[in-house]
Amino acid sequence: MPGVIFLLALTLLPFANLLISSFQYYYLPKAEMRHFVGLQNYLFVLKDPIFRISVIQTLKYISITIGVEVSLGFAIALLLNANSVLFKRVWRSLLIIPMMITPTIASFFFFYLFNENYGYVNNLLKSIGMKGLPWFSNPNFAFLVVSIVEIWMWTPFVALMILAGLQALREDIYEAAQIEGANNFQLLRYLTFPMIKNTLIVASILKFIWTLKVFDSVAVITRGGPGYATYFLGYLIYNRGFQFFKIGEASVMAVLFLILVGIIARFIFNRISIQE
């Protein structure tokens, strides 16, 4: 038990520190002028258009990637759960690979694949008679590339999570429904889907948490650009603090971020412990 208390103290300290600096004028090159300014930083950040853009882009990124991952993951899980598919273990082992690859290596590699001059993707487009696309100079395309990296890394995770849920379903219900004359689509729509809904929700929430952490791919591939297209919250906070040294403002953003995640965490904890 002393261990637990020690750990609690060790993890609480950084938060206290963060909270204090969020109420201070704190510009690193002039660290000696550090002083309390009340709510000034908060007001500044809430009015900051870049912060607003960043929040919107982050939410957009999260909803697009999760939408694709959950639908694709659900399809893959159904496929791998089909009784007749052979070599299931092999496919599972292969699918596990993207989620554990060092993210910066994967990011660099996608950067190479999408290179405008000699990348594999543009070459493929040219070979089917299309023009190569300016992947990194167009904001929408850059956003797409970063999303593809995320989708590639995490869809298998979502798929394997849903697969675990599917495998826990009871076979006899399906047999009963088949005897009653239900077709495959009806089985999916009226049996599988309602029973797996909770797993889908948990998978989406977990994915939400992991996507909030997005940093590596942006740091390697786009550096937030072009413009502010991929300037996601994590990268914004990092840049404010360690590129522009405005610790006060960065702390405010971190605190706001923390509050948001705290609410989500509470929600998830209830979900997960219900399952136990």
Partner 1 sequence: MSVIRNRKKFSAIALTILALIVSVIFVFPIFYLFVSSFKHYVDLIDASRSFKFLPTLDNYITTFRETNFYQIFLNSAIVALGSISISTALGVPAAYGLARTNLSPKIKREISFWFLSMLILPPVVFVIPMYYFLSSLNLLNTHVGLIIVYTLFNIPFIVWMMRNYFLSVPWEIEEASFLDGCSSLQSLLKVVLPLSLPGLVASLLFCFVISWNEFLFAFTFTGAETSTLPKIPRSFVSQQYLIALGLLFAQGVLIISPVIVIGVAIQRYFVKGLSFGAAK
Beta bridge partners of 35: 25
* Residue 130 binds partner 1, judged by CB under 8 A: no
Q: How far is the CB of 72 from partner 1 (least distance, A)?
A: 9
Contacts 24+ apart (CB under 8 A), 238-247: 245/27, 245/28, 245/29, 246/26, 246/27, 246/28, 247/21, 247/24, 247/26, 247/27, 247/28
* Residue 219 binds partner 1, judged by CB under 8 A: yes
* Residue 161 binds partner 1, judged by CB under 8 A: yes
Q: How far is the CB of 83 from partner 1 (least distance, A)?
A: 9
Q: Which helix (H) or strand (E) holds 36?
A: strand 35-36
Whole-Å CA distances, 58 to 92, 204, 212, 257: 30, 16, 8, 12
Q: How far is the CB of 239 from partner 1 (least distance, A)?
A: 10
φ and ψ of 35, to 5 deg: -155, 165
Cis peptide before 103 (omega within 30 of 0): no
State the number of binding residues for partner 1 (CB under 8 A): 96
* Residue 152 binds partner 1, judged by CB under 8 A: yes
Q: How far is the CB of 171 from partner 1 (least distance, A)?
A: 17
> Would residue 224 be called left, alpha or beta, if left means φ above 0 and alpha means ψ between -120 and 50 degrees?
left
Candidates 32-40, 136-144, 186-194, 199-207: pick the segment binding partner 1 (CB under 8 A). 199-207
For partner 1, the binding residues in 20-39 under the rule CB under 8 A are 21
Q: Which of 24, 54, 65, 155 binds partner 1 (CB under 8 A)?
A: 155
Radius of gyration of the chain from its Cα atoms, rounded to whole angstroms:
23
Q: Which of 70, 145, 196, 237 binds partner 1 (CB under 8 A)?
A: 237
Q: How far is the CB of 71 from partner 1 (least distance, A)?
A: 14
CB distance 239 to 50 below 8 Å: no
Candidates 47-55, 134-142, 170-178, 203-211: pick the segment binding partner 1 (CB under 8 A). 203-211
Nearer to partner 1, 66 or 247 (CB): 247
Residue 165 identity (one-letter amino acid): G
* Residue 224 binds partner 1, judged by CB under 8 A: no
* Residue 186 binds partner 1, judged by CB under 8 A: no
* Residue 82 binds partner 1, judged by CB under 8 A: yes
In the 8-state DSSP scheme, what is residue 39? T
Residue 153 identity (one-letter amino acid): M
Q: Which of 27, 44, 60, 104 binds partner 1 (CB under 8 A)?
A: 104
Q: How far is the CB of 220 from partner 1 (least distance, A)?
A: 5
